[in-house]
């Protein structure tokens, strides 16, 4: 990552025209998982001993995390094949840290810094300042942490000051219904509080916890760094007074959310399209999107570290099966399903996707707006989206210009619309740099 490849040509374009495509075939190595990469970077910084990470994602979100760690005094040594992170925690006690629109960096760093006896200011891009963080701040304040909202209450930017005596006698309670990143942040920081107090820490979830597979990622990585959390269902967690210890070397899996676009390509364009670096042995919940693709009528096979999809080409008249599905567990990959609904044989519904409202953009509003541009009939509610395919709603719109809202997933999933009867224009295609800078180059090498 210290010597990144040149930015793809589309990174500088205001718009990228995708011609109509008919087929897709090939094999794609997945870039590292964003969720695993940023968790692993923070854990490596907090752990005793140096950690070597291989397969780390090189993207906007990981770069802001790496920059933050360096600002906080963590030793980081990068090469194209590995990243070494010196452990021992943060040595800088006062810093102003910019974290872009990276929720996987902002939320966990907030919790870790709140327990680090320093004065810190955390800020991001304007959209980050619209993404809620009040539930996390309230939970940390219950521990005795000192955090102030510098702007609107409940939102960044934040000012953090040294905490006094921690209050750990009662379980800390955190809301589970807005973002699983709040619980992830509390869990990742909890060993710091437990070691400081010399006693286990208990964490309780208020309400129904969404996106549970992302908590599984957090707990799995904590175990790799020597901390095993006891879980009572999804409502109560007990974190021991055990310090993080480096595992030495940790390989980062390929990104399962990004794999969803390529599984969809195989299902829509004949295939086979195979992704490598993530498969049946993955710790990421989004590998379950393979089951969604299969339910839509495609053929899916899997190995320990690969997934493959194929199906009849929709450009030749084939249609996917209509669906009515609860996507609470895989909200990011669900965006791919929403665009696949354009090619279904009947109306489709995505349910339990309320977390879309507080992502990089309000994804329910964005998806409703952009799917309608293509000719789909789209209705939406607080936590659902219903889609009537263009073929059943009056026909496809030619030359639709798809807004991406500075949201990487909007750009990538709407590339699938090029299997329709007309070219598609993707506005601000460079926004994919958040997680997959070379996405459109890879996509172009697979489709015909």
Catalytic residues: 332
Q: Do the Cβ atoms of 434 and 357 come closer than 8 Å?
A: no
| SS3 label, residue 376 | coil
> Where would I find the beta strands (DSSP E) of 64-186?
76-78, 83-85, 94-98, 119-123, 146-149, 158-161, 172-175
Neighbour count for residue 232 (Cβ, 10 Å): 10
Six-digit token string for 353 = 């996707």
Residue with tokens 């997934």: 307
Q: How far apart are CA 30 and CA 260, in angstroms?
A: 11
Which CB contacts under 8 angstroms, 24+ apart, belong to 160-165?
A: 160/110, 160/113, 160/114, 160/118, 160/119, 160/120, 160/121, 160/122, 161/119, 162/117, 162/118, 162/119, 163/114, 163/115, 163/117
Cα angle 278, 282, 284; round to 5? 100
Q: How far apart are CA 286 and CA 159, in angstroms?
A: 34
Six-digit token string for 144 = 């005795």
Give which of 434, 58, 436 is closest to 275, Cα–Cα: 436
Cα of 434 vs its chain's centroid, Å: 10
């Amino acid at each position: 990552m210290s010597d990144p490849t040149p930015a793809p040509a589309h990174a500088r374009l205001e718009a990228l025209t995708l011609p109509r495509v008919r087929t897709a075939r090939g094999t794609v190595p997945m870039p590292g998982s964003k969720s695993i990469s940023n968790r692993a970077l923070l854990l490596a910084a907090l752990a005793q001993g140096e950690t070597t990470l291989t397969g780390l994602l090189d993207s906007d979100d990981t770069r802001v995390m790496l920059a933050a760690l360096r600002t906080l005094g963590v030793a980081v040594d990068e090469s194209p094949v590995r990243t070494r992170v010196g452990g021992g925690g943060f040595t800088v006690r006062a810093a102003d840290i910019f974290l872009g629109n990276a929720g996987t960096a902002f939320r966990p760093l907030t919790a870790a810094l709140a327990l680090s006896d320093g004065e810190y200011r955390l800020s991001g891009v304007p959209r980050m300042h619209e993404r809620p963080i009040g539930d996390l701040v309230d939970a940390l304040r219950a521990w005795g942490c000192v955090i102030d909202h510098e702007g609107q209450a409940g939102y960044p930017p934040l000012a953090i000051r040294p905490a006094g005596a921690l209050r750990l006698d009662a379980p800390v309670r955190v809301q589970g219904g807005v973002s699983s990143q709040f619980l992830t942040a509390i869990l990742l920081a909890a060993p710091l509080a437990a070691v400081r107090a010399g006693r286990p820490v208990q964490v309780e979830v208020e309400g129904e916890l969404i996106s549970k597979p992302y908590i599984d990622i957090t707990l799995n990585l904590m175990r790799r760094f020597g901390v095993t959390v006891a879980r009572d269902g999804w409502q109560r967690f007990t974190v021991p007074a055990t310090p993080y210890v480096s595992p030495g070397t940790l390989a980062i899996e390929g990104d399962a959310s990004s794999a969803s676009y390529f599984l969809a390509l195989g299902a829509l364009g004949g295939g086979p399209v195979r992704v490598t670096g993530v498969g049946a042995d993955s710790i990421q919940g989004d590998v379950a999107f393979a089951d969604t693709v299969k339910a839509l009528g495609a053929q899916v096979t899997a190995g320990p570290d690969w997934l493959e999809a194929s199906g009849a080409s929709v450009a030749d008249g084939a249609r996917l099966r209509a669906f009515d599905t609860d996507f609470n567990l895989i909200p990011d990959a669900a965006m791919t399903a929403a665009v696949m609904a354009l090619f279904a044989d009947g109306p489709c519904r995505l349910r339990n996707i309320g977390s879309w409202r507080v992502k990089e953009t309000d994804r329910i509003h964005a998806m409703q707006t952009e799917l309608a541009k293509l000719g789909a009939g789209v209705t939406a509610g607080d936590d659902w989206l219903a889609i009537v395919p263009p073929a059943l709603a009056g026909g496809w719109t030619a030359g639709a210009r798809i807004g991406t809202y500075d949201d990487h997933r909007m750009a990538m999933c709407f590339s699938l619309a090029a299997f329709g009867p007309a070219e598609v224009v993707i506005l601000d295609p460079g926004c994919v740099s958040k997680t997959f800078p070379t996405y459109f180059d890879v996509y172009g090498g697979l489709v015909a």
